[in-house]
Amino acid sequence: MGLYVDQEVLAPSLNQIPNLSFLRQNAEQTAIIFAQTTGAKACYLALAGNAGHHPRLLVVGGFFNDSPHDTAEIASLLQCADGYDGVLRVSVNHLPGVALALVSEGRHIGSTVLVYDEEAYIDVDRVAASAPLAAQTLDYARQVAVLHLQTEEIEERARLREIQVSRNLIRGVIDSIPLGLILLSNEGTVLAINRALSDRFQLAPATIVGMNYSSISSWEESPAAQALASGTGTRVRRTMTQPDGTHSLLEIASFPLLDNEKQPFQAVEVWEDITERVSLQTQLVRAEKLAAIGQLAASIAHEVGNPLQAIQGFLSLFLEQCDRNTPNLQFLELADEEIDRIVQVISRLRDLYRSRADVIVPVCMNDVIDGILLLTSKQLERSQITISCELDTDLPLVRGLADQLKQVLLNLVLNASDAMPDGGELRIQTTSTTTSDNVPSVTITLSDTGVGIAPDQLPHIFDGLHTTKERGMGLGLYTSKAIIERHMGRISVQSKVGSGTTFTIVLPINLEEDSP
């Protein structure tokens, strides 16, 4: 007869049986040895579950080619043995047998049913004497299984901790990178994103993960989609509008991730904000152009200066021959003053690359405005531009360079004239004010009713070489801003297309002697 071993789970879950394979092997060996020791043809063992009294595992060992007994009947007898103290004689399919509980050191380990031949003698004492050894063997096997399970759980927890530590480290490194990183599937699903990029969208990384790329940008036109389609890296520049309305210039690089068959299945995009870098490059180019223009201007100033001084000399001689009754004498005197100012401007162009001490004097901005309007009145009249002035009669004096301040206001008046080709109104106002820093100041505003400045041009209006005029060089407002800032003041602009433009100049009253 061959050795027969079988087992059957009577409970719906195996989770309560620690290290099932190891425990089952020991139970099988115990069943065979117990059957041989007691002379039984079959031995059924039921190990108690964690609760201690419900059978969880049924093991049968003996010398049968097939299991000869009804499993349900055996299970019923095993449960009866759980509550019986001693050896219980039973009948299994009309065969004699015994059933008893297995106890080790007062702990219920399980129960067993022994089945004998029809005419076999059952030595109950021998069964009772052998049962504790079987119980101890099973108890030992169970304890070892529990230890194995605990060891596995400890190792698993340690492994999970290591994985979590590694994951947190990688996440920390990725989140510390100032560049934006995003991992995408070939369908455009966001698989991972770092903090730098999620902050740009003002969303938490966990919120973006799982979204489709099309929720934040066009997937079809994305570098990732191009990289997945071509299998090679790609790089593009895009302008992005931030939630606050500002614009950022981004350089987005993408490269595909290849599977074992060298086919792209995911893609990574790297977002870099190059707004400041491009701005610095633009400023550098602008500075180089300004330097070249400065050198050219200094050269031109040298060539123009000599004939201009001759003209000024002849005009001075003519003025010496005039008396106070000479018609239009004031215009000749004004022309002489303007030529003198031109000479000083040319002198400053020649001295562009070397410092010189300018004379700082008290300046009445009302007088400067009156002089500018006298100089430009004919041109404004021909352009059908009316002038409205509200000048503070008690306006304090500012300390500064009168010619430079006059240059600023003249430039603003001429710009206003250019902005009103079909005529309009120029309003000039001066007031005594106090800044938010409690600095006593003089404020000058010039408002026109011209064409206005486009919103995309407004942020660059004071940049060097930036102009909206067909024949402009982009130096007027750039120079004006530099002059006002040298006087520790500030100049600002407000404009609306079709409604006109307002320039505001604020100059502090108490300037130190050497401020400009």
pLDDT digits 0-9 by tens, 293-329: 666 666 676 667 767 767 877 777 777 777 777 777 7
Q: Report whether 60 contacts 92 (CB < 8 A).
A: no
Topology annotation, domain 358-508: Heat Shock Protein 90 (3.30.565)
| Element holding 136 (H helix, E strand) | helix 124-176
Residue 15 confidence (pLDDT): 41
Q: φ, ψ for residue 438 (rounded to 5)?
A: 60, 35
Domains 4-151 and 178-273 equal at CATH topology level: yes
| Length of the chain, in residues | 516
pLDDT at 9 over 60: no
Residue 221 to residues 186, 230, 236, 495: CA-CA distances in angstroms?
14, 13, 10, 36
Give the H or E element holding residue 427: strand 424-434
Res. 50: pLDDT tops 50? no
Mean pLDDT, all residues of the chain: 80
Overall average pLDDT of the 409-429 stretch? 90
CA distances from 415 to 134, 418, 449, 453, 467 (A): 109, 5, 12, 12, 11
Work out the pLDDT band at 427, boundaries 50, 70, 90.
very high
- Answer yes or no: are the C-beta atoms of 469 and 461 closer than 8 Å: no
Residue (of 138, 137, 140, 145) closest to 47 by Cα position: 138
Strand partners, 270: 181, 253
DSSP track, 192-210: EE-HHHHHHTTS-HHHHTT
Q: Give burial (CB, 10 Å; 0-12/13-18/19+) of 321.
A: exposed
Give the confidence band of 68 by pLDDT, cuts at 50, 70, 90: low
d(CA 264, CA 253): 16
Tally of CB atoms within 10 A around 384: 11
Q: How many angstroms separate the CA atoms of 199 and 181, rounded? A: 11
Query: Which of 41, 61, 39, 47 has its CA nearest to residue 126?
Result: 39
In the DSSP assignment, the letter for residue 189 is B
Per-residue confidence (pLDDT) for residue 374, from 0 to 100: 83
Better pLDDT: 10 or 391: 391
Q: Which helix (H) or strand (E) holds 226?
A: helix 223-230
Q: Which of 189, 200, 188, 194 is nearest to 227 (CA)?
A: 188
Residue 194 to residues 176, 205, 234, 270, Cα–Cα distance (Å): 9, 7, 20, 10
Q: Which fold has domain 178-273?
A: Beta-Lactamase (3.30.450)
Query: Which structure tokens are listed for 301?
Result: 């100033």
pLDDT grade, residue 31 (50/70/90)? confident
Beta strand extents in 166-292 (DSSP E only): 180-185, 190-193, 234-241, 247-258, 264-273
Quote the tokens at residue 441: 């100041």
Per-domain residue ranges for the chain? 4-151, 178-273, 276-356, 358-508
pLDDT at position 297 is: 67
pLDDT the model gives residue 141: 79
Domain 276-356 has CATH 1.10.10: no
Distance of alpha carbon 65 from alpha carbon 2, whole angstroms: 6
pTM above 0.85, yes or no: no
What is 4-151's CATH topology?
Beta-Lactamase (3.30.450)
Most confident of 49-58, 331-340, 366-375, 456-465: 366-375
**What are the two backbone dihedrals, phi and then psi, of residue 515, each rounded to the nearest 5 degrees?**
-60, -55
> Would the pLDDT of 254 be above 90?
yes
Check pLDDT > 50 for residue 12.
no
**Residue range 88-145, pLDDT digits in tens:** 999 888 889 999 999 988 888 888 999 998 888 999 999 999 999 988 988 887 788 7
Q: Are 511 and 488 in contact (CB under 8 A)?
A: yes
**338 close to 375: Cβ distance less than 8 angstroms:** yes
Tell me the per-residue pLDDT of 438-482, one tens digit each, with 9 for 90 and over: 889 999 999 999 888 888 888 878 876 656 665 555 567 888 888
449 vs 280 pLDDT, higher one: 449
Where in 80-179 does DSSP place strands (E)?
88-92, 95-104, 107-115
> What are residue 214's phi and psi, to 5 degrees?
-65, -15
